[in-house]
Structure 1
Amino acid sequence: MSLIWLISVPVALYLFRKYRVIKWGQYNEQKTLKDKVFVVTGGSSGLGKETVKELASREATVIMACRDLQKAKAVIAEIRSKIKGGELIPMELDLASFDSIRRFSKEVKDKFSQINVLINNAGVSIPRVADENFKTKDGHEINFGTNHLGHFLLTNLLMEKLEQSAPSRIVIVSSKLHESGIIDFNNLQGERGFPLGLRNPAYNNSKLANIYFCRELAKKLSNGVETYALCPGFCYTSLFRHSKFKWYQYLLFAPVAFIFMKSANQGCQTILYCALSDDVSGKSGKVFRDCKLYESPYKFDDNVQNKLWMISENLTKYVGYYMENPEN
């Protein structure tokens, strides 16, 4: 009997894993992307790196917007050892610095005549530990400042070029953890503090802000630009590298990871789906997961959404493309 259990349990777990992989969905269409220009933030690791590889295999021109240029160049060399197609262009972008975002945006607009898809993928998850309270270079809470404000400013600065390139898309990588997020304008950046420890409510809040941004942006967009938010799933990447787990926690977590976690390539499939699939056309402002439409259980509030946009404009000191162009 013990031998039967010894064999049947691993087999059952393996089959369950295979079932989950099928449910995750995969974007298989190999359409050529020659002469199409993509901007991918965080393109040198994790989901961003896998997205870049998939786009290169389809002959795309990909601007890899990365904080570490040397790392980006090393990743390009790695990709080029297997994939020869497309054009991969490393450019420096630190989403924790408004100055860096403005420099990057100007350089992109000066060098490229079009942007067909902007993929806002980069993100950080830095929990507050001890007395450390990490900030961006502009003094904002690191998770909110990088994940939301950084991409908010970047998107708006590139909006004119996106409209000139229509039909074009903006893809915003959020997380299912947005469902645990809260937009509290009295504690938006931890003014009243966040709990210490491995749990990181600031990250969850920033991912909720991403979806609010997508929803409000969809209301303002016109002229052939659409935007989509997505939850990539629970993926094995370096995102949570700042969470200092104990060795025994990794040991206990291993079986769960085997069953439930996606690889980075599996996680990037919904990014590709939102960036490339014809199925998402006309669904601007919606959330996707596992390569299909996802109805979030979160109760979104239009008043919160509008106020968050206005506060984000003030915090980024961005007058607003839509204020300058009221017809949009």
Structure 2
Amino acid sequence: MSEVPQLIALVTGATSGIGEVTARELVQQGYHVVLLARNATKAARTRQQLQKLAQPGTRVDVLLCDLSDLSQVRRAAEEFNQRYARLDVLVNNAGLVFGAERETSVNGHEMTLATNHLGPFLLTSLLLEKLRQSSAARIINVASMAHKFAKPDLADLNATRSYSPMRAYANSKLFNILFTQELARQLRQRSISNITTNSLHPGVVASNFGSNSTWFTRAFYKAAAPFMTTSEDGAQTSIYLATSPEVADISGGYFAKKKPEPVKSEFNTEANVQQLWQQSEQLVGQPFFAE
């Protein structure tokens, strides 16, 4: 009787909040989990904690990467591709709200766009061949109900003319959802049937989130904290989409509290989604699919 291969999962933003809870649950379910994180100290501490929970013979590994830096994304993806035979679950969880003053990444992109959208877009592209090696791979993109406040300007994705931290965040979360929908469509178009992708709203989670943003954003999160959900509760939809047989054949969906929800946005037109995809390819410097 042949041995069932151990499933491999990569979780970004896995050193705190819902990312850490997601990684912990996957470890406890027997996955070989790779933590992608910016901070080496936090990553080492998280890896040590999770390794204690792992089943005998199961490793927890670390990949260091700042998703806002596209060269680091390329290096991390290359390292993953060299070290692992395949990828079964990719959880694009990392996401940040930045400060009142517009910042740019080392590549010259607005930091919210770079971290929350372009980095995950490129990472997913570069890991696609490893996902194709899985018998049934899943891509989970953590979005937010904040997408309802998005008002993207395709002529100014980098917010050079008008910037607000919460608008930039809302736009990036809408982009996560539209990326998910368009990726699902393009996978079907290419008859790639072993990969599904879904996005989700985790709930408004009481964590350090927004701590480096404006005083108003920090004050809002502090005042709202008693009404927020925990990281444990917030991670449940990510875990559900990553592991549940109920959603094994669903792709392109947006979920909240483990249930599908419609995405209502005037921006969500075929023309806009196609243009967003093309501009994302231009900004990361390569096509998503290596033809």
- Normalised to the residue count of structure 1, the TM-score between the two structures is 0.81
Structure-2 residue corresponding to 1:266 = 233
Per the alignment, in what secondary structure is the counterpart of residue 127 of structure 2?
helix
Name which of 19, 36, 42 aligns with 1:48: 19
Residue 74 of structure 1 corresponds to 45
Structure 1 pair 193–206 and aligned structure 2 pair: CA distance change class (3 A): same
C-alpha change, 1:166 and 1:245, in structure 2 (3 Å) is same
User: 2 CA distance for matches of 1:139 and 1:79?
Assistant: 36
1:278 correspondence with 2:245: yes
User: Is this contact kept in 1: 2:198–2:253, CA < 8 A?
Assistant: yes
Aligned to 1:226: 196
C-alpha contact 1:34 1:58 (8 A) present in aligned 2 = no
**Structure-2 change in CA distance of 1:113 and 1:298 (3 Å):** same
On the 8 A contact 2:73/2:122 being kept in 1, the answer is: yes
Separation in 2 of the partners of 1:180 and 1:111? 40
The count of residues paired between Structure 1 and Structure 2 equals 280
Question: 1:145: which partner in 2?
Answer: 114
Structure 1 distance, partners of 2:119, 2:284, is: 8
Residues of 1 paired with 2:137 and 2:175: CA distance? 22
Q: Distance in 2 between matches of 1:44 and 1:61?
A: 16
Q: Does 1:301 align with 2:269?
A: yes
User: How far apart, in 1, do the equivalents of 2:112 and 2:274 lie?
Assistant: 21
Is the contact between residue 37 and residue 63 of structure 1 (CA under 8 Å) also seen in structure 2?
A: yes
The partner residue of 2:181 within 209, 215, 222 is 215
Q: How does 1:49-128 map to 2 (within 5 A)?
A: 49-80=20-51, 83-85=53-55, 86-127=58-99
Deviations 1:121-167 (A, max 9, x none): 0111103x2xx321111010000111000000000011111011131
Deviates more, 1:177-186 or 1:104-113: 177-186
Aligned twin of 1:179 = 148
Q: Which secondary structure state, in structure 2, belongs to the residue aligned with residue 200 of structure 1?
A: helix
User: Does the 8 Å contact 2:43/2:62 carry over to 1?
Assistant: yes
Alignment correspondent of 2:212: 242
In the TM superposition, what whole-angstrom CA distance separates every residue of 1:81-112 from its partner, at most 9, and x where no partner exists? 5x242421011111011110111111101110
For the pair shown, the structure with the greater C-alpha radius of gyration is: 1
C-alpha RMSD over aligned residues: 2.0
In structure 2, the residue corresponding to 1:65 is in which secondary structure?
strand
Comparing 262-271 and 298-307, the one that deviates more: 298-307
Per-residue CA deviation, residues 273-310 of structure 1 (Å, 9 max, x unaligned), is 11011111332111001011112333421111111000
In the TM superposition, residue 252 of structure 1 has moved relative to its aligned partner by 7.5
The residue identity in structure 1 corresponding to 2:40 is: L
1:205 aligns with 2:171: yes
Residues 279 and 201 of structure 1, relative CA distance in 2, 3 Å threshold: same
Counterpart of 1:317? Answer: 285
Q: State TM-score, norm by structure 2.
A: 0.91
Structure 1 unaligned spans of 5+: 1-32
Contact 1:117–1:168, Cα closer than 8 Å, also in 2? yes
Give CA deviations for 1:235-263 in whole Å, capped at 9, x if unaligned.
012221112447x947981xx432x3111
- What residue identity is the alignment partner of 1:240? G
CA distance in 1, matches of 2:219, 2:287: 47
Q: Specify the SS of the correspondent of 1:113.
A: coil
Q: Which runs of 5+ in 2 are unaligned?
A: none
**Identical positions, percent:** 32
Three-state SS of the structure 2 residue aligned to 1:186 is: helix
Change (3 A) 1:84 1:142: same
1:196-217 CA deviation, whole Å, 9 max, x = no partner? xxx6100000001111100110
